[in-house]
Amino acid sequence: MTIHTDLPGQAKQKPAIVHPLWLRLTHWLNALAVLIMVTSGWQIYNASPLFNFDFPPTVTLGGWLGGGIQWHFAGMWLFGFNGLFYLMMNIFTGRMKRKFWPLTPHGIFNDLLAAVRGKLKHDDLRHYNMVQRAAYVFVMFDGIVLVLSGLVVWKSVQFPLLRELMGGFDTARYVHFLAMASLVGFVVLHIVMVALVPKTLIAMIRGR
């Protein structure tokens, strides 16, 4: 909340910083990378479907298999390096421990129950509730799984140990698809929550 004063010579107190600049930059770059990766990935999927359905061409990127692969590789570098930078900054600045811990099943259940009842508060955007902490930790883990399974699908011969840990090339494709689906689910839920609490979007743009 901004505090105004009528006293001469006194500066107005600015709202507290919610998100530092590096976090906002990585957030929006990641949003772009995910959009490219998911839509181009759907184009690649259509060339060799895992399940009995295709994605509509209107929601795919690349126009054909080769185009989808080119876009996917472009998004891959942005997603990988941006994600690594985000993860390292969270660890080295102490934000990982400060924002996402402690995290307990009991706390997650209580906050989830409060959210369902419409009683979960968002008064101070600098602090995450247990549901938010669990969601962000999950999506970080999911991003790592996406990268590792993607490496097996892309360079299966060059990463034999990783391929075996994934259960083989074919299994890695399923892991990659399911990790992608989980990421899309997170994004949809994230957008819904932003729509319900619009000030979170303002904070991610302005930082305050």
Task: Give pLDDT, residue 12.
Answer: 59
Task: Give pLDDT, residue 103.
Answer: 82
Task: Give pLDDT, residue 32.
Answer: 96
What's the CA gap between 179 and 112, in Å, rounded?
23
Cα–Cα distances in angstroms (integers) from residue 103 to residues 55, 98, 119, 145, 185, in the given order: 37, 11, 20, 21, 21
Cα–Cα distances in angstroms (integers) from residue 196 to residues 139, 189, 190, 205, in the given order: 20, 11, 10, 17
Task: Give pLDDT, residue 3.
Answer: 44
Task: Please name which of 175, 171, 168 lies closest in space to residue 147, comparing C-alpha atoms.
Answer: 175
Cα–Cα distances in angstroms (integers) from residue 44 to residues 28, 60, 97, in the given order: 24, 9, 38
Each domain of the chain, given as residue ranges in start order, spans 19-49+56-93, 105-208
What's the CA gap between 144 and 178, in Å, rounded?
13
Looking at the DSSP assignment, which residues form a beta bridge with residue 3?
13
Task: Give pLDDT, residue 79.
Answer: 94
Q: What is the pTM of this model?
A: 0.85
The pLDDT averaged over each successive group of 10 residues in the chain (208 residues) is 46 71 94 96 95 94 94 93 94 89 84 72 72 90 94 92 93 96 93 83 84
Tokens, residue 162: 């990783």
Residue 110: CB atoms within 10 A of its CB come to: 15
Element (H, E) at 123: none
